[in-house]
Amino acid sequence: MILAGDVGGTKVHLALYNFANGRLQPIRDEKFAAHQFASLDEVINKFLALCNEKRDGIFAACFGVPGPVREGRLKLTNLPWMLDTRDMTKSLGIQHIFLINDLEANGYGIPELASESVFELHSGNPEATGHAGLIAAGTGLGEALLIWDGKRHRPIPSEGGHCDFAARSNREIALLEYLRSTLKGRVSFERVVSGLGIKNIYAFLRDVEKIPEPGWLHDRMLAEDPNAVIGQCAEDGSSSLCFETMKVFTGAYGAESGNIALKVLATGGIYLGGGIAPKILQTLKNGTFMQAFLDKGRLSALLQSIPVRVILDDTCALRGAAAFAEARASEASGHSERAASIQG
């Protein structure tokens, strides 16, 4: 079996996989509130106890984590956890343990997805091959490059979501000035294209542009998940404030997706991952995203040829972590669980 994890600032998603005919087969997965645990080891122990699984049955483990992993170590930004593969190997009793960037894990997961788990937002040239890009708006903004080596895409992690936000219109310039004031300095793309960014845009439109916030919306924002409320009310047309919020959000999302496409020359496509995109498909389809994506002046024709696809499966990072764990462990041990499942 393979143990895989998708570690975020608010939740930890763990799963066990085996293989059948060379394909990953899920056994069980669970989500845990990260703040309720003192360490990732504690979450893993809880999960394995729920599964009633013995450690010696786990061939390898890999965890996708937010941030740059260096020599198997990472200090999480939003949690007081220090992760170290050497310490985890000893404490968990699993021989092969790996940490990789969460967007890198998503990149490895894309080939493991079923075709119905990917929604085509823009067809571009579906026959084209080459490098691709991955951008994922969720709690934060993750980005990765998918480098084509002639046979497959090799994910290269990045921290591109923390690059400087580039305003493109008078409204975005005003938003940038608002955020520079409220944040007291630099503004990254993550401050606009993320769950936090949606709330930032909403506050700007309410407080600076003075778009009315009706009482019923104010009450819902206090009682429910604000981002879910904004997304829902934008899609059903019940609030102009929410609609305009998501219009600004998707425009910035599309523009940064186009930036990645230019930087990596993503003839193989751009993938939208993360938790937000699948929940706002109607908003993504209304034209604002693609207009911003294509608005690259003399290079617009190139962008027109690039497919844009939305990842619908929230286990993509888990599948990628599992695939990475199996591949790396098989290199080290000489035994491949994936290959054995085909031979069997």
61: which residues sit within 8 A by CB, 6+ positions away? 2, 3, 4, 5, 92, 94, 96, 97, 98, 325
pLDDT, tens only, 122-175 = 999 988 899 999 999 998 899 999 999 999 999 999 999 999 999 999 999 999
183 within 8 A of 203, measured Cβ to Cβ: no
- The token pair that represents 40 in the structure block: 């990732």
Residues 169 and 270 reside in one and the same domain: yes
Q: Which domain holds residue 329?
A: 2-109+315-343
pLDDT at 54: 74
143 within 8 A of 135, measured Cβ to Cβ: yes
Residues 104 and 123 reside in one and the same domain: no
Residues 25 and 65 reside in one and the same domain: yes
pLDDT at 343: 65
Domains in the chain: how many in total?
A: 2
pLDDT at 344: 52
Q: What CATH number is attached to the domain comprising 145?
A: 3.40.367.20
Chain mean position to CA 203: 24
Residues 244 and 329 reside in one and the same domain: no
Low-confidence ranges of the chain (pLDDT < 50): none
pLDDT at 127: 85
Residues 197 and 273 reside in one and the same domain: yes
303: which residues sit within 8 A by CB, 6+ positions away? 258, 261, 262, 293, 294, 296
